Structure 1
Amino acid sequence: MLEVQCIICETKVFIDENTLEAKRLRNNPIRTFMCDDCKSRLDTPKQRQPQVINENPQKQDSNS
């Protein structure tokens, strides 16, 4: 078993040493690991808030 740490929540997880992901992490230390919870949070798109657009903007006079 290989102990890895999630880069977002910093939880430690054990993964099997024979998996492709473990081999990639061993051979390329720059690669980062994300736990399943963080990965699923980033994979789901956020609901965008509707933007309110003012169609008739009123200019303010600085001379008044």
Structure 2
Amino acid sequence: MRVKCVICDEIGQLPDDAPIAKTLRNRPIHTYMCPTCNDRIADKTIARIATGNFVFHRSSHSIEKNF
């Protein structure tokens, strides 16, 4: 399956039987991010959390109370 990163527009290939490929086919609202962009955003988020100014906005769902 051909996929395109929503941030850098890099076109990549996913195996047709991969779980993320099935998710992208069945739920068009879900988007694909290449591993490079995903790692970059994860690193920047960790850096923002380390500053102490990052606030988690959580809903009142009972599942998120365990988070």
Gapped regions of structure 2 (runs ≥ 5): 52-67
Is the aligned partner of 1:46 residue 2:47?
Answer: yes
TM-score normalized with structure 1 length: 0.68
- Cα-to-partner distance string for 1:26-45 (whole Å, 9 max, x where unaligned): 00011000000000001112
Shift of 1:9: 0.1
Partners of 2:47 and 2:34 lie apart in 1 by: 19
Aligned to 1:55: none
Residue identity (%): 33
List aligned pairs for 1:53-64, cutoff 5 A. none
Partners of 1:9 and 1:3 lie apart in 2 by: 15
Aligned length: 48
Q: Which has the larger radius of gyration?
A: 1
Aligned to 1:20: 19
TM-score normalized with structure 2 length: 0.65
RMSD of aligned residue pairs (Cα, Å): 1.6
